């Protein structure tokens, strides 16, 4: 079995050895990155490989998976001229979070913890619960009150213990992190654990393969904690360093106007979050994160790519969801945010790809 890479803190450089159950930097308590710089395989060598995200084995920090559910390789379909949609709501647990959750469960299986815990507004929790079930690992998932009933049902169906926390998403994260300090606990954090990002990056490796060895002008991504965007940035860097793409796409980040701390920081030209974040109810519950721990990295990645931030109103979300349903695509309200941001031509004539991240069966239709 290939040795695990070490983790390190991107803020202060503190290193955390491979095999540790530590989930954050022991000095600053910030999220960790992985000391891992792979070289992707050329396009021609992918022919005949397994039809899942594990076909990009050279780029994944864990080899020979034992808990896979066949995740990845989701379809790419046109929405209108110049805009393609990647249907990540067709993943095994009906959201893109499977890409990262499978790596967290695989890592936990190899580390052998007493139990696994996760916190989530729903989709990451259902994904972690499912892959822990696949791995035979005991799991508890912390969610905020008000989480979609269907997501709660799915978490429990996979055998995870559900912990509903009074308060918002931030209160839920605090409760989970307190529990993560106990001995023998693996904190399957899609925010703090860098393995998750190395799973979500397969989204862009798939785009590159399906577009014949190139990427679009713009990759549009929903941003709450930023795990899909940061994974995309990793993949773009890997492909460019290997000489497999000449031009890097611009990364456009989308937030709900109701909870938009990163878009606000961007508009003020800041490198980190600024001031207190106003929080209002939003249909986009999955990206309603007032204080994303990787804020600096997200802002830096968007800036380095030549991208920007876009925000969407509740009416835009509602209309975009209905529009997609009318095209045969039943997507949850968070998952339509990127289409809501670009459907009226915000990107001009540039070619773009938007993700449809979660299935409509998880939340139902947004109602005025």
Question: Looking at 127, 158, 187, which one is the last position of a domain?
Answer: 187
Same domain? For 149 and 247 the reply is no
- What total number of domains does the chain contain? 2
| pLDDT of res. 2 | 67
Structural domain containing residue 305: 76-96+195-362
Same domain? For 110 and 232 the reply is no
Question: Looking at 187, 217, 243, which one is the last position of a domain?
Answer: 187
Same domain? For 87 and 127 the reply is no
Pairing of strands 33-34, 7-8: antiparallel
The answer to whether position 35 is within a domain reads no
- Residues 17, 10 contacting (CB under 8 angstroms): no
Same domain? For 91 and 150 the reply is no
Same domain? For 252 and 118 the reply is no
The pair of structure tokens assigned to 78 is: 């046109």
The answer to whether position 9 is within a domain reads no
| pLDDT of res. 174 | 92
The answer to whether position 131 is within a domain reads yes
Same domain? For 223 and 345 the reply is yes
Same domain? For 268 and 295 the reply is yes
The answer to whether position 358 is within a domain reads yes
**Which residues, given as ranges, of the chain have pLDDT below 50?**
none
Same domain? For 268 and 353 the reply is yes
The answer to whether position 62 is within a domain reads no
Beta-strand runs (E) in 195-330? 218-222, 250-256, 308-312
Question: Looking at 164, 187, 210, which one is the last position of a domain?
Answer: 187
Alpha-carbon torsion angle 305, 343, 349, 309, nearest 10: -20
The answer to whether position 177 is within a domain reads yes
- In tens, the pLDDT along 204-225 reads 999 999 999 999 999 999 999 9
Same domain? For 210 and 358 the reply is yes
Between the alpha carbon of residue 322 and those of residues 89, 231, 275, 319, 357, the distances in Å are 16, 29, 35, 5, 16
The answer to whether position 50 is within a domain reads no
Same domain? For 199 and 82 the reply is yes
Same domain? For 86 and 102 the reply is no
What is the pTM for the complete model shown?
0.96
The CATH number of the domain where 235 resides is what? 3.40.50.1100
Same domain? For 183 and 332 the reply is no
The answer to whether position 34 is within a domain reads no
């Amino acid at each position: 079995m290939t040795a695990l890479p070490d983790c390190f803190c991107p803020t202060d450089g503190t290193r955390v050895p491979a095999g540790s159950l530590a989930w954050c930097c022991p000095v600053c308590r910030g999220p960790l990155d992985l000391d891992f710089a792979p070289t992707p395989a050329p396009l021609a060598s992918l022919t005949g490989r397994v039809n899942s995200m594990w076909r990009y084995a050279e780029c994944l920090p864990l080899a020979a998976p034992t808990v896979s559910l066949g995740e990845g390789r989701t379809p790419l379909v046109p929405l209108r001229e110049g805009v393609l949609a990647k249907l990540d709501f067709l993943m095994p647990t009906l959201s893109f979070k499977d890409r990262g959750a499978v790596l967290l469960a695989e890592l936990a299986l190899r580390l052998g913890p007493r139990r696994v815990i996760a916190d989530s507004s729903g989709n990451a929790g259902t994904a972690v619960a499912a892959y822990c079930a696949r791995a035979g690992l005991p799991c508890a998932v912390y969610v905020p009150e008000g989480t979609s009933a269907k997501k709660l049902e799915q978490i429990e169906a996979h055998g995870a213990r559900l912990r509903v926390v009074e308060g918002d998403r931030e209160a839920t994260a605090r409760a989970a992190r307190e529990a993560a300090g106990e001995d023998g606990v693996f904190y399957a954090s899609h925010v703090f654990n860098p393995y998750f990002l190395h799973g979500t990056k397969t989204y862009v490796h798939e785009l590159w393969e399906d577009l014949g060895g190139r990427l679009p002008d713009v990759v549009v991504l929903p941003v709450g904690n930023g795990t899909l965007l940061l994974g995309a940035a990793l993949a773009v860097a890997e492909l460019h360093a290997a000489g497999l793409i000449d031009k890097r796409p611009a990364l456009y980040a989308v937030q709900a106007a109701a909870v938009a701390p990163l878009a606000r920081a961007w508009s003020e030209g800041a490198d980190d979050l600024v001031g207190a974040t106003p929080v209002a109810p939003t249909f986009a519950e999955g990206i309603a994160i007032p204080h994303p721990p990787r804020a600096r990295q997200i802002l830096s990645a968007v800036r380095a790519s030549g991208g920007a931030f876009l925000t969407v109103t509740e009416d835009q979300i509602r209309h975009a969801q209905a529009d997609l349903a009318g095209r045969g695509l039943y997507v949850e309200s968070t998952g339509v945010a990127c289409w809501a941001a670009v459907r009226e031509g915000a990107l001009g004539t540039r070619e773009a790809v938007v993700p449809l991240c979660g299935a409509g069966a998880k939340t139902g239709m947004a109602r005025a």
